[in-house]
Amino acid sequence: MSIPTFGVGTFRLTGQTVIDSVRTALELGYRAVDTAQIYGNEAEVGQAIAESGVKRDDLFVTTKIWTENYGKNKLVDSLRDSLKKLRMPYVDLTLIHWPAPGNGIELPEYMTALAEAKALGLTRQIGISNFNIELTRQAIAVVGKNEIATNQIELSPYLQNPKLTAFLKEQGITVTSYMTLAYGKVLKDPALAQIAQKHQATVAQVALAWALQLGYAVIPSSTKRENLASNLLARDLHLDADDMAAIAALDRNGREVNPPGLAPVWD
């Protein structure tokens, strides 16, 4: 199995807003949906999927285990609870949301519990999120690199993380990019605007196409139908070598998400 290259994210969306966003995305042709226990919207995501009429087998649903559920006696039960909220017998991918060093639960314990969830059929694939190189190595040591489907990390034209992405590529672990638009900051970038004008595209499409051409999966979110539809068109946008070089020059280690106590020491 592989990770879909394009999905819809649901971070910071709750209530009717997330129901409408997911329902619209599915109507437009999205077939991958990303959620997490801490987002507090699994039930609404499940409702939107159930009401969409799209067959479960045609969907790829990802959720993420929150730090309070990392213990070997909690993780599997917490995923079962997520499945009840999502109204489905399994998810396609389950991730450890943050490494949370010092959380009191060591990495071998939660990675072993995650592998158990897969063995029980609760999730088709497993992976990690926000792991640096060293912690990814440790996760590989516990479950094997072929078991880690992806590392979902913050990436944008302003945060390109070349060391980590190169390492993941070497290991055959798919990179999933979140915050690809850097909370919208890249939408005002003049270099990206110039590339967008050249291709008669939007800046968002350029940023997403950049990530896709580097082999990453992307999960942008939006509450607006026109933006959800527009984002999908990034799949058909081809950036040339000059475009990619211009975007490479924008890297400034511009990290947007770095919660203390949850994040690792970044590479």
pLDDT of residue 102: 84
In tens, the pLDDT along 15-52 reads 999 999 999 999 999 999 999 999 999 999 999 999 99
End-to-end CA separation in angstroms for the chain: 29
Q: Specify binding-site residues for substrate.
A: 97
**Is the alpha carbon torsion for 130, 136, 140, 141 positive or negative?**
negative
Task: Judge whether residue 1 has pLDDT over 80.
Answer: no
Between the CA atoms of 94, 100, 103 and 105, what dihedral angle is there, to the nearest 10 degrees? 40
pTM: 0.97
Segments of the chain assigned E as strands: 8-9, 32-34, 60-65, 91-96, 123-129, 148-154, 174-178, 217-218
Contact 19, 48 (CB under 8 A): yes
Give me the mean pLDDT over the 56-70 stretch: 98
Going by their DSSP bridges, the two strands 217-218 and 91-96 should be labelled as unpaired
Structure tokens at 35: 């959620």
Q: Which of these CATH numbers, 3.20.20.100, 3.40.50.1360, 2.60.40.10, 3.40.50.1820, describes 8-183+216-224?
A: 3.20.20.100
Mean pLDDT of the chain, nearest integer = 97
* Residue 216 annotated among the catalytic residues of the structure: no
How do the domains of the chain map onto residue ranges?
A: 8-183+216-224
Give me the mean pLDDT over the 238-245 stretch: 98
Going by their DSSP bridges, the two strands 123-129 and 91-96 should be labelled as parallel
Q: Specify binding-site residues.
A: 97
Contact 34, 9 (CB under 8 A): yes
Active site residue: 30, 39, 158, 216, which one? 39
